[in-house]
Amino acid sequence: MFKIILAVIGRDLKLALRRQADIVSALFFFVIVVSLFPLGVGPEPDLLRQLAPGVLWVAALLATMLSLPRLFADDFRDGTLEQLALAPHPLGLVVTGKVIAHWLVSGLPLALIAPVLGIQFDLSAEALAVLTLAILLGTPALSGIGAIGAALTLGLRGGGVLLSLLVLPLYIPVLIFGAGAVDATVSGLGGEGHLSLLIALTFAALGFAPWASAAALKIALE
Amino acid sequence: MLEADNLECVRGERRLFAGVGFRLAAGELLFLQGRNGAGKTSLLRMLLGLLPPEQGEIRWHGEPIRALADDYRAALCYLGHLNAIKEELTPLENLLAAARLADEELAEDEALDALEQVGLAGREDLACKYLSQGQKRRVALARLVKEKRPLWILDEPFVALDAAAVEWLAKLISGHLQGGGLVVMTTHQPVNIPAGAVRELRLG
């Protein structure tokens, strides 16, 4: 079971490293969107501190969205997806591997660069730590939920817009608890409760989403 | 032993075929024929288990393939219109990755040997995007060289191949049949596959 998940992760990471433009463009998108806010709203430390969690999280959602349409589309176009569906193991495991690989090249870099961007918003060291942790714990859920949308819109023309309409509303809980964790830390309430809920969301998404995506992929392959 | 009974295929509003059945024993080849749009590829997808038939049943060694699921998929090898190779990977990486994802054992020297047999010696380490159409097809075909699974389902395997490669592939298929394998294939080219019992099924 783990062998196939590792095989998929290994292949997808190798492909991602040969196509670094995709990773770098999503990361730059994140950096630029986040950096535009301090320039737009002006250098008012109190206001920036208040805006920071929401801005960083919304930018993280959008940056994750950027790479989602390609999650299955490339494999679908060149016939690899058929071969994966015909392999003698459940398709849900293959999708689990793809979701983990997607997180490693999209969510993980966002979490690593978030503290640097947080400095622009005058966040305290403690708030930066919680922000990084929240993005680290919440982004796997984004990849998981996004996989369902990517599978449902596979092969559709203009699927990219439909994908955002499908997926962004489902990202709302992650956004609320992710931004809430940082807010709660800044206001001194402590973000542990929010972080626990984020972990719960991530586990629920990683456990459930691959199988829902696999069902959608089977319909796309008929 | 692969059996199909009374298969019916409906795509959208149109019925492509109905009442199609056949029985294929070890060492036999089934040629699917029919004009464009007669439903050859749809029938192949039913045999793969990707497309559920409107009616009828497909059995592998007497068991319905729906019930066998993973055990059936472990017995079949499919080569479709699409090559299922990654442009960014080299032929060698493609072959090894495909084997690993299909849960098959393939050592690196076996893979190199397979690539040499399809005439790609010296190009193992060149990314597939630099290969020609025919060479990409050969990378896809290299999977068959070391394939030990009994049932091969091939959709237009001779497309984009030159005369020498067509002859080589015909020999590979007949070797598989002589070893007790089963082959279901479609082709528009008249190809002579030596040895083995050949059955024909005409759709439409």
The mean pLDDT of B142-167, rounded to a whole number, is 89
Which of B76, B86, B130, B147 has the highest number of chain A CBs within 10 A, making it the mutation to test binding with A? B86
Does residue B100 belong to the interface with chain A, where contact is any CB pair within 8 Å?
A: yes
pLDDT > 90: percent of chain A: 74
CA distance A5 to chain B (A): 9
Does residue A16 belong to the interface with chain B, where contact is any CB pair within 8 Å?
A: no
Which of A7-11, A27-31, B37-41 shows the lowest mean pLDDT across its residues?
Answer: B37-41
CA distance B164 to chain A (A): 26
pTM of the model: 0.92
Instruction: Give CA separation, A34 vs A21, A22, A114, B139, in Å.
Output: 20, 19, 9, 45
A83 and B86 within 8 Å at the Cβ level: the answer is no
Look up tokens 């783990």; give the residue: A2
CA distance A21 to chain B (A): 13
A78 and B52 within 8 Å at the Cβ level: the answer is no
Q: Which of B48, B50, B73 sits opposite A88 (nearest CB)?
A: B73
Rounded to a whole number of angstroms, the distance between the first and last alpha carbons of chain A is 25
- This model of the complex carries an ipTM of 0.91
Does residue B164 belong to the interface with chain A, where contact is any CB pair within 8 Å?
A: no
Taking phi over 0 as left and psi of -120 to 50 as alpha, with beta for the rest, B45 belongs to alpha
Residue A64 main-chain phi, psi, to 5 deg: -65, -40
pLDDT digits (tens, 9 = 90+) for B100-138: 998 888 888 999 999 998 888 888 889 999 999 889 999
Q: Which of A18, A78, A89 sits opposite B85 (nearest CB)?
A: A78
pLDDT > 90: percent of chain B: 44
B45 and A14 within 8 Å at the Cβ level: the answer is no
Report chain A's mean pLDDT, rounded to a whole number.
92
Instruction: Give CA separation, A141 vs A103, A164, A168, in Å.
Output: 9, 15, 12
- Nearest residue of B to residue A89 by CA position? B70
The mean pLDDT of B168-182, rounded to a whole number, is 91
Does residue B52 belong to the interface with chain A, where contact is any CB pair within 8 Å?
A: yes
Residue B109 token pair: 């020297």
pLDDT digits (tens, 9 = 90+) for A136-148: 999 999 999 999 9
A172-178, long-range: CB within 8 Å, 24+ apart, which pairs? A173/A201, A174/A61, A174/A138, A174/A141, A174/A142, A174/A145, A174/A198, A174/A201, A175/A57, A175/A58, A175/A61, A177/A134, A177/A138, A177/A201, A178/A53, A178/A57, A178/A60, A178/A134, A178/A135, A178/A138
Q: Which of A3, A7, A222 sits opposite B51 (nearest CB)?
A: A222
Q: Which of B52, B88, B102 sits opposite A15 (nearest CB)?
A: B88
B102 and A83 within 8 Å at the Cβ level: the answer is yes
Whether the per-residue pLDDT at B195 is higher than 80: the answer is no
**Contacting residues of B for A8, CB less than 8 Å apart:** 101
Does residue A6 belong to the interface with chain B, where contact is any CB pair within 8 Å?
A: no
